[in-house]
Amino acid sequence: MWIGFFLSALNNSIEKYGIEESQFAVDYIKDNFKDINIRKGNIDDVNSLNIEFDVIMFYHVIEHLKFPNKSIEILSKKLKNKGLLIIGTPNVGSFFSKFFGKNYRLYKPDHICLYKLSALKLLIEKNNFYIEKIEKPFFGTKYNNLKNFLRLFNPKKVSPPFYNSIVTLYCRKRI
């Protein structure tokens, strides 16, 4: 739940839309960000919007979905040609997800559909996108510190954040 902070950071000249399952988040956004058009709903409700988007941010959503392919199909239909889809998700193909096994920090009960980067790329390409850029954020973040580095050597404890634990794909819709 990003509670509207990502959209609020964008220029006010941009039309901003959000769909959120949490009523708390919807109420918070309505109370604090008057320039965001927010509604309660889920991925299926995107179809009811009579809009095509230039950019769709799908950050840490896909791992919570029962039918991720259907969701990517919906988003593809709602993006303009050459529109940008940004997907961020855990990467279960990383070295440390394998090293830590069941102690990998991103194995959570609500993460019902996890991807290796190679499988995520196939899903994206199958749905009429090409990948412009892949980021594996870590270096330059607050998580890049000695405490987390030292935790890498104890696979009996929960894994720390580390490079390639999550991936962000910038995907462009094909014409």
Supply the pTM of this predicted model: 0.89
Domain annotation for the chain: domains and CATH numbers: 42-90+105-137+163-173 (3.40.50.150)
CB-based contact 73:128 (threshold 8 Å): no
pLDDT (mean) for 140-157: 94
For residue 134, count CB atoms less than 10 angstroms from its CB and return exposed for 0-12, middle for 13-18, buried for 19 or more.
Answer: middle
pLDDT (mean) for 66-70: 94
CA distance 115 to 89: 8
Q: For residue 1, what pLDDT is reported?
A: 46
DSSP state string for 91-139: BTTSHHHHHHGGG-TT--TT--S-B-HHHHHHHHHHTTEEEEEEE--BT
pLDDT (mean) for 50-59: 92
> Does residue 45 register a pLDDT over 70?
yes
CA distance 97 to 144: 17
Name the most confidently modeled range: 29-33, 39-43, 89-93. 89-93
CB-based contact 93:116 (threshold 8 Å): yes
pLDDT (mean) for 142-164: 94
Q: For residue 3, what pLDDT is reported?
A: 66
Quote the Cα angle for 69-59-71, to 5°.
20
Phi and psi at 17, nearest 5°, equal: -130, 145
